[in-house]
Amino acid sequence: MILKTISGKPLGQIPQNAITEISKKINSSHTISLKVPKYYMDLLDFSQKTYPLYSALKNERQLELNGKDIFIIKSVEITNDDYIEVKAKSKEIRLKEIDISLEDTSYTLIDKIDDKDNIVLSDYLYSETGWKIQATDFIRYEFPVEPYINKYKKILISMKNIKDIQDKNKTSLDEIMKRKELIEKDKKELSEAIGKDIEKKAKQLREDGFELIKERIAEKKKEIEGLIKKIEESNSPSFDIDKALEELKGTPKIRHIESVNKKWLDFLEKDVCSSFDCCIDYDTINKIVILYDEIELENHIGLYLSKDNYIKSLEKEYNTDKLVTRMVIEGNENMDIISATCTGEKYIENFSYFMEINEMSLDLKNALTKYYKMVEKREPTWKLYADEIVNRENQKNILGKDFIHAEKTLYMLNDKLEIYNVPPKEDKELIGKLAKEITKQRDERDRIKSAIEKLEEDIRNLTKSRDNIVELCKKPTATDDDGKLIFTTALLDELKEYIYTETYKNDSFLTEYVEDLIVLSKKKLLDKSYPTRKWNIDVANFLDRIKTPYGVSWNGDLSLGDLVVLYDRETDSEEFTFLNEYKHMVRDNKLKITLSNKKTEKEDGLTISDYLTNAKNALRDIDSNRYLNVLLKYNRMNVPKEFISKYNLPKKKRPDGTVIN
């Protein structure tokens, strides 16, 4: 361990036996504690000497551990002038002391989009703090949200992880075989899902007669057939996994900030991680913020624990305080998901936990299973109608602009006709040409008007068909294939006992990204719909196996995020858990680890910070309305914006930045 100045200049080396404790946890700042004596015995002349770095251990100075981690000294305590006790936190804690303030802006993580007026967050972070952002492709870029493409992506990721294991550890044959079995299982499920998808769409095609829908189904079928061909080719040694993932990659993800005024660390760990649904880690040596997808924390089995091997003592904790089965979703400016789901509800649900532990009555479980099956069956048809409504609305908007242009042109031609139709400037030849042009323009306007009216009629009919499906997807009115109600009043009343509601609000999603918001929300609900289970364990004899990675690859050691299997011989059962935290008491040679059934712990829902932000926005609205009230008072609604101070604020400067590869 090397002690450095605040600027990073080395001062000297601290002996390892001065370390009393090291504590590390996923998605949290790591800590280290030291206890350094003031005096030491010189073994050459057996004299007592003052430890040279004793007075150099000062607040905010740096401690570099093994050339891999840097800690900042935050607490120095002197005991009887004999010992100095030091507590330090990993270097990213400095980001907790620097403010970020932004309002009403969009941002990408790393990539600059030329035609978009958005901030590159990595460049902005560097200009403010000296840190940069490094993110994996799954966090930086949009990927298709279709379920079958997600399954294909999962197969590619698994194949890539196998390649990484083969490159780094040639002996992991069992691990590789397990992964290959999972890939084959995913391939089979994907092929079956694709077959069902084509069958559903063919049935829908027979039920409605819209030519555009036919065209889209044909395009989708071609796309699916191409995907099946790629999957078949994936077994070939020449198959390029990275290229296949690159082909799926879309445009850089864009998120929106309504208003943020907080510390950088809080913004990164709460706002950014929530908006991009990612995990966070830090390279404190190079001052890099690392963002990665939870699926990239691989489920390799790092350890198999039982009372017969490593476990000294075991404490179990089961917590349902944060259990959620119904999640109300809100985006920017109170945007909801009502029009984006076939149920027409502002929430999504997941009752899997209560269905699995047999708390529900069998009738309710069967009703829910049938209901989800019918919703899955009806959703593709609803989606086609919803997409077609949007398509017709877009056509209508375009024609609306053409109609306004035609009206304006007609108005100008009539003005010209009046001018040339007044003696003595009367020009019969020109008047004839103008009259002909006016007739042509009037016909064009009427044609556009008729087209708009036809589109409006189509939209009404499509909306009626879509709403009929929505009605069939609402629980009180949901029916099976025979037209019988799925839920009785008694079953709906019983279901209320299993409803645990939470609001998930994410202002970074605008209306056009509502589908991405729903995908993210489903992942969060899946995590919250099961209670958190924790195991606090005192472990022996494997301290040399622990290492701390940056979270995305495995080289044979046990890492934070690894899968740990707990075996109970009495019940002959296994619990699959994840290593979330460990605390190493160096001097006592003890280790405590915390395992959980969830890879990461994330705080979602409306927090105090959210309520304060909402309150701030409300006050801002009141403030802006004050100008309107003043104008109303003096009946001066024609006052230009430049006379109102709200619209006269200087624009905030934003860093242009450069693209970081």
Q: Tens digit of pLDDT for each residue in 254-275?
A: 888 878 889 999 999 888 988 8
Is the dihedral angle over the CA atoms 638, 644, 646, 648 positive or is it negative? positive
Cα separation, 539 vs 624, in Å, equals 60
State the pLDDT confidence band at 366, using cuts at 50, 70 and 90. Answer: very high
Range with top average pLDDT, 183-192, 239-248, 371-380, 423-432 = 371-380
Nearest to 138 by CA among 274, 268, 253: 253
CATH of domain 299-319+535-596: 2.30.300.10
What pLDDT sits at residue 441? 87
**Cβ 269 vs Cβ 601: under 8 Å:** no
DSSP-derived 3-state class of residue 52 = coil
pTM: 0.57
Answer whether residue 645 shows pLDDT above 80.
Answer: no
Residue found by looking up tokens 């609205």 in the block: 621
Q: Which residue has the tokens 């007592």?
A: 48
Q: Which two tokens stand for residue 303?
A: 């350890």
Reading the block at residue 454, the tokens are 């036809």
The number of residues making up the chain comes to 661
Instruction: Give, in order, the Cα–Cα distances in Å from 462 to each of 33, 344, 466, 582.
Output: 66, 15, 6, 57
List the structure tokens of 402: 């053409």
Domains of the chain, by residue range, sit at 2-94, 99-289, 299-319+535-596, 321-530
For residue 64, the tally of other CB atoms under 10 A from its CB is 20
Of the two residues 491 and 79, the one the predictor is more confident about is 491
Tokens 């002038």, located at residue: 81
pLDDT tens digits for 468-516? Answer: 999 999 999 999 989 999 999 999 999 999 999 999 888 777 777 788 8
Strand 255-263 vs strand 99-108: parallel, antiparallel, or unpaired? antiparallel
